[in-house]
């Protein structure tokens, strides 16, 4: 009798929190669709920029809620590391965008880093070596990130070469520096904070395997979708192909590295892929 009650409770809990996650994803989809419709009405072709920025605002709202709820746990170390990482991201980003966009991106990165750090302390959460002050393992994580990224970086480069043709190579140092912003910012905003938020929400409410699947879904699909919103207008089969391919080839490995390793390994993996792309002139 007791086991039957527990099973029923767990089943009801799963349904309840599964509905929560569907609701959260539905809001994202609405934001995504509205950004496309609004861009069509403006006719300025800023499809990706608008979908990306609005999604970051959406995520930042939850980060601010986490900071408010866990403010007493906010340490100076989190703030200093947040300033350091978002500062590096800003210096990289400002090289290829306007100052307003760079500042907004920096603030989003800083806020979500604090939120993700406040949620990262327990088991079944994404960890950061910098937060844990495990500096000795940083080089190992950097090395693993680069080695694992090599085949994915080559696939990405070949794709751009085939679709855009031959391009002039960029200075190797400039390419490495420019690749810092997407690696740091995107891994913090779209995976470190987002996945930790889902792990936190579902902790003890659903089975661990379901919390992992749902967290991975949120850490992969939205980030993939905001790269090609206009493709859903002109080429739906192409958009579906891009969603599946980018999710499996890039989103899944990055989410896996964050979960199984740490934030720093995923950042290095992401950095190397973009470094090769920029170095190749794309």
CA–CA distance, 198 with 211 (Å, rounded to integer)? 7
Start-end of H helices in the chain: 2-42, 47-69, 76-93, 99-118, 129-132, 138-164, 172-178, 180-187, 194-202, 208-225, 231-234, 236-246, 252-260, 263-279
User: Mind listing the pLDDT tens digit for each residue in 210-220?
Assistant: 999 999 999 99
Q: Are 262 and 120 in contact (CB under 8 A)?
A: no
Average of per-residue pLDDT across 143-171: 95
List the one residue out of 260, 41, 262 whose CA is nearest residue 132.
Answer: 262
Band (pLDDT 50/70/90 cuts) for residue 7 is low
User: Mind listing the pLDDT tens digit for each residue in 28-62?
Assistant: 999 999 999 999 999 999 999 999 999 999 999 99
Percent of the chain with pLDDT over 70: 96
Average of per-residue pLDDT across 65-73: 97
Quick one: pLDDT at residue 112?
99
Band (pLDDT 50/70/90 cuts) for residue 121 is confident
Phi-psi map region of 203: left, alpha, beta (phi>0 left; psi -120 to 50 alpha): beta
Band (pLDDT 50/70/90 cuts) for residue 12 is low
- The sign one gets for the Cα dihedral 263, 109, 84, 120 is negative
The packing angle between helices 47-69 and 194-202, to 10°, is: 50
Quick one: pLDDT at residue 11?
64
Q: Are 157 and 277 in contact (CB under 8 A)?
A: yes
Does the pLDDT of residue 73 top 50, yes or no? yes
């Amino acid at each position: 009798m007791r086991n039957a009650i527990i099973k029923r409770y767990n089943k009801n809990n799963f349904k309840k929190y599964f509905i929560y996650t569907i609701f959260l994803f539905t809001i994202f989809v609405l934001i995504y669709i509205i950004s496309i419709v609004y861009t069509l009405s403006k006719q300025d072709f800023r499809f990706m920029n608008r979908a990306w920025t609005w999604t970051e605002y959406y995520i930042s709202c939850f980060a601010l809620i986490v900071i408010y709820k866990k403010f007493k746990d906010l340490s100076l170390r989190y703030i200093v590391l947040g300033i350091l990482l978002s500062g590096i991201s800003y210096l990289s980003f400002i090289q290829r965008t306007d100052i307003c966009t760079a500042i907004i991106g920096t603030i989003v990165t800083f806020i979500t880093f604090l939120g993700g750090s406040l949620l990262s302390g327990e088991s079944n959460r994404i960890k950061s070596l910098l937060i844990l002050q495990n500096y000795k393992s940083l080089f190992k994580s950097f090395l693993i990130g680069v080695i694992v990224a090599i085949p994915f970086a080559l696939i990405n480069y070949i794709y751009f070469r085939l679709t855009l043709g031959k391009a002039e190579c960029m200075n190797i140092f400039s390419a490495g520096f420019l690749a810092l912003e997407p690696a740091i910012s995107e891994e913090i905003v779209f995976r470190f904070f987002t996945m930790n938020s889902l792990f936190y929400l579902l902790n003890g409410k659903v089975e661990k395997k379901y919390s992992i699947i749902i967290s991975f879904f949120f850490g992969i699909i939205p980030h993939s979708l905001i790269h090609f919103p206009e493709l859903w207008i002109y080429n739906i089969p192409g958009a579906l192909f891009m969603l599946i391919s980018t999710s499996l080839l890039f989103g899944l490995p990055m989410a896996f590295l964050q979960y199984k390793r740490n934030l720093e390994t995923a950042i290095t993996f992401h950095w190397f892929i973009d470094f090769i792309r920029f170095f190749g002139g794309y």
